[in-house]
Each structure stands twice: as structure tokens, then as C-alpha cells.
Structure 1
Amino acid sequence: MGQLFKEYLSGDLIYCCSICKAHAATHDQIYAKTFQGRFGPAYLFNHVVNVCLGPREERILMTGLHTVMDIHCSSCFQILGWRYEKAYEEKEKYKEGKYIMEKARMDVENIANLFIRNSWKSRQQVASSHVSECNCAGVLLDALESAEVCGCS
């Protein structure tokens, strides 16, 4: 078996596999959010990465007959949704070549929140070590920027 190459996406919101967190799509690739998958609500994406395609099969979906291929996470092989290969009804042709990803099978990484969360962890670590050194009660961790805030130093 060859070496697995994963693509890492950039952007504020990254949609990823709920099991292994492999990146799959960026928020700007969403075409529509009003779709239904096997496990509940789903999004239609223009482009996804880090997926493997299953075999072509004919499925009767809510909007009629389509030729689809399941998409699996290329890291953990969880089924994430499917790719529309062919729509038999003219009004459904816009789906061809697009991807359904099930909300139940994906997580969203908010890069801005991730930065804030990591920043918060750093401040919390500084605060914890400072509080244990000087025993100053009542220091608000979310307001603590340095050890001098409590006035103990």
C-alpha cells in the first residue's frame, strides 16, 4: 500500500471527518445547506478533498433517480456522503459533480476559535502557575495577561 498524502485546507471554517478530523472542505465550497442525507441534514459542496470514491450505483433519492458514488474519508474510511455523477431529471442536473456531506459525519473547525482557545490555554497555564506560586485568590483567568495583574509580583 502506498503512502497516504493528506491535503490540509486553510480558511476560517474547515469541515472535517468527525472520526479522524481529516480536512474535507472549506466553508466557501458550500453550494447549499438544505439537503437531506441518510443520517439527517447534509450540505452540498462544490469540491472536497481527502476522500475516496466508492463504486457507481443508481439510487432513488428524494429528488428522483441519480447515479452516485459514496465518498469515504481517505484516512479512516468513514462514509461521509456521496458524489452526484448523473441526475436524470433536467432540474437536478446542477448537482452533477457535486458532493453531499452529512452533518452527522463531519465536524467544523473554526480556525478563529481554535486560535482563541489555544491562546486561552496559554493564559490559563500562566495563571495557574502564578496562582500556585503566590496563592493569590480571586484572579480572573480570562483577564490575566501576565503575572503582574494580581499585584503580587
Structure 2
Amino acid sequence: MLVNSTQKNEKVVLGLLSLTCESEDQMNQAGEILTKYRDQEGFDLYLYKDPETSNFVGLIGVEQRKVETDPQENLSTIIVHRISVIPSFEGESVDYLLFKELKEMFPQIQISGSIQSETQDIIAQFAEKYRQQKQANSEGEAI
């Protein structure tokens, strides 16, 4: 289950954010990253709660941007900047479940990765997997 992060689970969020940092310097900046997500409009952190243990085991940091194509349309896109799973759950596709639940929360919004955060390839793979599963499910229902 995907839930919006709160002050109450700040230590869990900081721990998961630190897993997205490559260097010791960046790990020290996890607090600053958290502040950015809390303070900037359009930025959100979501935690994934494992249904079996009820523990938070993953995190996805996103930015929702308005797309200015047509003034009459109110389109937006979601950019995934960070995705993190605790090491003991890495082989269990929790990162894909984070994407899937985010897509189910925002079915009409395009979700993509960030070049700067190097999430573009993995999010593209998740989007394709999600599309294929959705297509297979709709074909199965038509039979």
C-alpha cells in the first residue's frame, strides 16, 4: 500500500532516502532532501507499506509538473526522482509495486523518470511492464 509520508515516519523516510545517496556527502544531505520534498509545491514522498508485515519497505520521491501545451487542458506529468527499497526486500519487486500503485493513484497522468536522478530507464521498464500487464488483463477479460 502506498501512503504519503508524514512527520511521524520521518526516521524511516530519512533511512530510505539515504539508500538513494551514492556518497557519504550525499547521505549527510538526506535531511535537506526531505526538507525539499516537504516544502516545495508539487514534490511528494510516498512510502510503500508491505501488506504482510505492515512495515514501510520502500519509498518513491516524485514531482508533479503541469504541462503547458494548451491553456484549456490541465495536463500534468509525474517525474520520479528517487526510488528506494530496503535491502532485504530488493529481490521482491517492491520497486515495481511502488510504480504500479503510483500509476493506479494517477491513472491519467504520464509517469517518467529523471535523467538527473538516473531513474528514466527503470521507470520506462516499469511503464512497459505495467502496460503489458494491463493489456493481458483486458484480453483475459474479453475471452
TM-score, scaled relative to structure 2? 0.23
TM-score, scaled relative to structure 1? 0.22
Q: Which has the higher strand share?
A: 1
Q: Which has the higher helix share?
A: 2
